[in-house]
Amino acid sequence: MGNFKELKVWQEAKDLSVSVYRLTSDGKLAADYGLKDQMQRSAVSVPSNIAEGDELDTNKQAVRHFYIAKGSCAELETQLIIAYEIDYIGKEVLDTLSDKCQKISAMLRKLINARSS
């Protein structure tokens, strides 16, 4: 505990967050302040909750934050699907970022299991 920057899941989540910020800075998404803001908030919530959870004193507290991060992954994936369906992003972008969300979610599941036992 306490070295969140060394956690592979944090690194992946941080990179996803950077990708979402870059994605939402151009095109139709940049002009849709509601969806843009929601996507950015969801994306930044994932590595932030991983970091906060890892810094807490107990595994029980950490696991709670890891579950929040996992929920934010699902939230972001939903927003990506919506962005695709309203023609804000292409299929390739959707697939790439959705895959990253699913990978991070799976990594969080393993971390939750490890910290729960």
Reference 39, options 103, 93, 112, 110; nearest CA is 93
Encode pLDDT of 12-49 as tens digits.
999 999 999 999 999 999 999 999 999 999 999 999 99
Q: What percent of the chain has pLDDT over 90?
A: 96
* pLDDT score for 1: 62
> Mind giving me the DSSP string for 4-23?
GGG-HHHHHHHHHHHHHHHH
Encode pLDDT of 59-109 as tens digits.
999 999 999 999 999 999 999 999 999 999 999 999 999 999 999 999 999
CATH number of 4-116, picked from 1.10.3720.10, 1.20.1440.60, 1.20.1250.20, 1.10.287.1080: 1.20.1440.60
| Domain layout of the chain by residue ranges | 4-116
Q: What is the pTM of this model?
A: 0.94
